[in-house]
Structure formats: structure tokens, C-alpha cells
Structure 1
Amino acid sequence: MKSKMKAVFVFTLLFAVAYSSDPLSDEFIDHINSLNTTWKAGKNFGPHVSMSYVKKLMGVHPDSKLHRLPVKLEDYLLSDEEIPENFDSRKQWPNCPTIGEIRDQGSCGSCWAFGAAEAMSDRVCVNSKGEQNFRFSSEDLLACCGECGFGCNGGFPGTAWAHWVRHGIVSGGSYGSKQGCLPYAFEPCEHHINGSRPSCTGEGGHTPKCSRKCQDGYNIPYDQDLHYGSSSYSVPSSARKIQKEIMTYGPVEGAFTVYEDFVNYKSGWGVDKASGNTPYWLVANSWNTDWGNGGYFRILRGSNECGIEDQVTAGLPRL
């Protein structure tokens, strides 16, 4: 089942393969592939990129588990027998353009805000049956949610969803898009080995200031552009319940502990019947489309791989 979730990361890097001191080296990548597992590694990051920079991109703060929302009481109409073998949110809701969007967080550890804003955007469309589209601003959430953590230095997904309910979030597209109230402040940059964007420099951006003012030329005042959630919650730590949540209400935000081999992900980790029909989640990352498999990755489903099924957050929009 290719249920789509938005990815964020616990920025703790651990050794998964004790073979090389440099997890970005060709030697390390070759060793991963020599193990002949269900996924393939490849060169994602160029020689100018350091591991300290990569670690900076993984912006779920380790204390995020202390800020988990209450677990949702089950209210799904679906039974286990109604979960199909294959389900892809992009195909299920083709009129919801944000579901197929891969964003770029640039040189800021803001994946906690990106995962939330993306899933919130998806859920407005899904739960309005395609009648409403609203692209929530990662910038507004990053800059204006003071209780969400440390901005570009890591945040708490649960608090981000609670902020949506209590304070609302305005609209905003990608850097330079002029789309919405507050587009993203950080320019896309090329973290990766092959791509057309300018190279990323430095160890990451500073958290932007919260202005609570829309960009010039946007004709809706900030306070009137705010859109709210009606509820926010943690999804139960059960693969079947996460599947039901996605099928019923749309993509969710997920976090997991990253091991050093993950940064080299290229494909696989559950590749249909060719590798034993391994069950997997399809996850959208925010490292632009040059990373991984067009910006996506697959991760084993049903065994709480890297803790991913323990850290799923979601909510419902106020329509």
C-alpha cells in the first residue's frame, strides 16, 4: 500500500553500517548496495556538502516526543478488510495539486514545518472534496510559531498542528513564487550531486522574523488570510490505523530516526512484487526533487521501521 505521508526527521544520526567514517563516500554507498537489501543507495550529495550540513536539514528536535498530541480515539468507518493492497493519495485525489508537490526547505532545518504545512494543504482539498485549495505557508509556521521549538534549528510537529488550530496559518508558496501571503524566505539550493540549482553554502539559515504582514501586492490582510484547523492529534501507533487515517482524511506528517545510510537513498525499500511484495509507506521529502527517487522515498511498513509509526501527526481543517 503506497499510502503517502510527509516526511520530517529526528535529527539524531546513528551508524547503521559500521564500515566507513564518511557516510557520504562512494565506499560507504558501495557497501550498502553489497548487502543486497530491498533498497538501493546512490550519490545524493556533492563533495561540497558536509555531514554537519546534512544533519542540519533534519529538523525534528529530539524533544519532540515530549510535545506529542493526545492520541486520536478511533472513529474510522473502514474495516481492516476494506484496506486495499495498493493505495496512492496522488491517484486517489488527482484534483488536489499539493499532494504531488515536492517542496525545498533550502538551508534551514524546517522540515517539521514543511511536513505540517504540506499535509494541512492536502487535507483542505481532500476534506472539501476538491472544492477548496489553500497552500499553507511553511514560512508563517516556521517564523511565527514560537512554541514550536527552535525554527531552523529544529521543531516539534505536534505543536505545529496545535498552532494551526489555535492561531491559524496564512497562505504562501515557494521561494520567489509571489504566491500567497508569505512565500518561503529561503532560496532553493542544490544539496545534491546532479541538479541545476545554485550550490548550498554555509551550515544553514537563521530563522526568519515573524512579521505578521503579507508580502507587497497580496491584497488580503494577514489576519484575514489565516486559515485554521478544527482538530489536531497523534495517530495511533498502528500501521492499519495510519492507513485508515490516510485513506479517510488524506496525507499525514511522519517523523523517524535517521540512520546514516538513509541520506544515500535512491530507490526501493519495498518494490512491489519484484522483491517479495514488501509492504511500504510512500513518503514525500522536502529536499527537492533531485534527492532520492524524485524527492520521494519508500520505507518498510508494519514493523515501526526507525520509529516511523510511533510519530505520525495529523488534524482536520476548519472548512
Structure 2
Amino acid sequence: MTICLSFRMYMLLVLALVASVSSARVDPFSDEFLELLQSKETTWKVTQNFAKDVKKEILATIHCVKKFPWIPNLPTKKVDTCSGLVIPESFDAREQWPYCPSINEIRGQGNCGSCWAVSAASVMTDRTCIATEGRAQFRYSSENVLTCSGDCGFGCNGGDEDCALRYWIYEGFVSGGPPGSKEGCQPYSVKECPHHIEGPRPSCEGQMPTLKCKKSCRKGYELSYKDDLEYGQAAYRLPVDVQAIQEEIMANGPVTASFALHSDFFSYKSGVYQHIEGEYHGYHAVRIIGWGEENGTPYWLAANSWNTDWGDDGYFKIIRGRNECEIEEDMAGAIYKPKPLLDDGSSCSR
């Protein structure tokens, strides 16, 4: 009996492995793969976000997190296990700090592997506003983070969002609005493109742009590059602990996070994502703004950088508490450093 049971288990494992390998080889943008996902019972809904004939080069702009061996990890923040803080069942930073409109923004990375820079710039923006109770509405430039973060990355070819938070402390970053705007010192120059089938934006396909660090502001901006810089005073990783992460978000605002990207994530529409099928493609960086529970499934609420037409108006939920796709292993935060007060008692910050 034991031998038969063992053989049966062995065959089930073999069949599961074959099925897994087969699904991994299916084109992630094909009808076949979409039908495979739709046949599964899970906590999220699928849709065809990308055209079936999209060129696979687009994947290079999506798995845009690179961890370099020569860059040391941020220090892990020490947690007060006796804080006594009551964690609510749900939390949304957009509702907690309504005077910070940046928390509601979905930035688009365009045809550029800049998710690491976009997530870092977004978190810096949110936390600067929160720390100053809305007085400093300073929108950090995604492009400045992307191009001027030293050894943190290779521009559109990927980088390390944790490293960018550390760079904020020592070198600072300037302001910058969305593509096509004349907002801030260095607006993002990469045009928006659709990470979905239909929409008014031009295609994401084509060669990624090569961008260089510029220590100057756009023509007509009222401040010099040096005068526009804002800085952080501390950056840290968060422990792999759900309550510690929740307490951090409640105290200081959204955090950066990176997670292992699989083919099924491309087809996310709504619900609480958890990986069910498809191959691994690398890592992707996003911004975590809260948490909650949907139909009994706990989740993190995340803002993506693939425009508002993707997913749930640009957001997605991912299952919380089991380190899904390693997302709870790589969350980080940073603290804004206020500028010194002027002689009249006012602050230099905008």
C-alpha cells in the first residue's frame, strides 16, 4: 500500500511539473494563456491587457528592478514590538492624508525600464507632503531619480529603488512634472504609452530612450538646479513582518516594494492577485499605499506605473501575509529632511 501511494504521489508530482513547464512556455500574451488563467479558480480576475501581437521586447521595460552586488543593502529598521499601536482592518493613504494629492497619482513609466525610479520618486513625494502636513507640495522628478542616482541603476535598463532612497539623503533630487508638462525643474521626458490594448497613447514598442543626467533645470524655471534640490535624512528596509510594515505606512506614508514578476500578472484586471501560472520574468517595483481584505482574502494595495488604463485604474491588490512573489522581502521607506528656516521663520520648502 505504501509503495502504491508513493508511486501515485510521484506521478502526480511529475504531471504537475510537466503542466507547470508547459504553461511557462505558452506565450503570455496569447489567447491560449488567457484561457488557461480563466480556467483557474482564484481570487482575481484576468483580462487581455496587452495586444496578442505585442513584441516581446516590451518585457525589458517591465522587469526593471536590478539589484547590484556592489551596492550594500539599506539597514533594516528596528521595530518597537511593544508599540501598542492598533492596526485597523483596512487602511488607505489616500484617505488618511487627503491634503497630499500625489498619493492619488499613477505615474506612467512609458517605454522605459524606470519602475525603480518612478516608485522611489513617488514615495519621496508622498512622504515629503505627509511630513510637512501638506505644506511642501514638492513633486520629485522621476527623470532626475532615473538619470542622476549614481550607481543605483542604468537608466531605462533598470535599477535599485532602495539605492535611490539612499541617494536622496546624500545628493538630493529636484522637482519634475509628468511628460509634456512644464512643471518643476526636470519634467519626465519619456512619453506615456499604453500597457493595455486600447487607448489614445502611442505604442510602448520600440527602442528604449537613452537618457543622461543633467545638473540643470528646464529653460524658464525660476530656480537653479542646486536651489531646487530636496533631501532625505534616513532610508531603511523594513523587516519581513506584516505588522511592522503596516505601522510604518500608518506613521510615515507609502513604501516602495519590489516583487517577482510572472506572466500571469500581465493579465491582471481586479481582485487580490496571487501567482497561479506562467514563467518568471524578473522583478518589478511599485508603491504600497495601504491594505485591506476582500472576500476574506487579506491584501496589500499597490500603485503600479503602467498608467490608469491598466489593472484596476492603475492599482492592484496582492495577497498579504505570505510574502507572495517575495513582495514582503523588499519593502523600504525613507524620511524627508526639512530645509532650514529662513530668518523670518519661514521654510525654504515649497
Write the distance in 1 (CA, Å) between the matches of 2:55 and 2:193. 15
Q: Secondary structure at the match of 1:258?
A: strand
Write the distance in 2 (CA, Å) between the matches of 1:213 and 1:21. 47
Equivalent residues in 2 for 1:1-319 (5 A)? Answer: 18-19=22-23, 21-63=26-68, 67-75=72-80, 78-79=83-84, 82-206=86-210, 208-269=211-272, 275=295, 277-319=296-338
Write the distance in 2 (CA, Å) between the matches of 1:214 and 1:263. 36
Q: Secondary structure at the match of 1:269?
A: strand
State the Cα deviation string for residues 81-120 of structure 1 (Å, max 9, x = none). Answer: x000011111111110000100111111010000000001
Task: Give the 3 Å change call, closer, same or farther, for CA 115–205 of structure 1 in structure 2.
Answer: same
**Uncovered stretches (5+) of structure 1, i.e. residues with no partner:** 1-14
Aligned AA (2:126)? D
Q: How many residues align?
A: 302
Decide whether the 8 Å contact of 1:56 with 1:203 is kept in 2: no
Deviation of the 1:201 alpha carbon: 2.8
Write the distance in 2 (CA, Å) between the matches of 1:88 and 1:78. 21
Deviation of the 1:48 alpha carbon: 4.5
Task: Give the 3 Å change call, closer, same or farther, for CA 148–265 of structure 1 in structure 2.
Answer: same
Write the distance in 2 (CA, Å) between the matches of 1:73 and 1:204. 40
Write the distance in 2 (CA, Å) between the matches of 1:110 and 1:144. 13
Decide whether the 8 Å contact of 2:301 with 2:318 is kept in 1: yes
Aligned AA (1:234)? R
Decide whether the 8 Å contact of 2:293 with 2:299 is kept in 1: no
Task: Give the 3 Å change call, closer, same or farther, for CA 273–86 of structure 1 in structure 2.
Answer: closer
The structure with the larger Rg is 2
Aligned AA (1:175)? P
Q: Secondary structure at the match of 1:279?
A: strand
Decide whether the 8 Å contact of 1:116 with 1:157 is kept in 2: yes
Write the distance in 2 (CA, Å) between the matches of 1:45 and 1:17. 23
Q: Secondary structure at the match of 1:281?
A: strand
Write the distance in 2 (CA, Å) between the matches of 1:189 and 1:149. 22
| Aligned-pair Cα RMSD in Å | 2.1
**Uncovered stretches (5+) of structure 2, i.e. residues with no partner:** 1-18, 274-290, 339-350
Task: Give the 3 Å change call, closer, same or farther, for CA 305–273 of structure 1 in structure 2.
Answer: closer
Q: Secondary structure at the match of 2:332?
A: strand
Higher RCO, 1 vs 2 (CA within 8 Å, ≥6 residues apart): 1
Decide whether the 8 Å contact of 2:238 with 2:332 is kept in 1: yes
Write the distance in 2 (CA, Å) between the matches of 1:202 and 1:252. 31
Deviation of the 1:52 alpha carbon: 2.9
Decide whether the 8 Å contact of 1:257 with 1:308 is kept in 2: yes
* TM-score in terms of structure 2 length: 0.82
Aligned AA (1:297)? F
Decide whether the 8 Å contact of 1:173 with 1:184 is kept in 2: yes
Decide whether the 8 Å contact of 1:78 with 1:244 is kept in 2: no
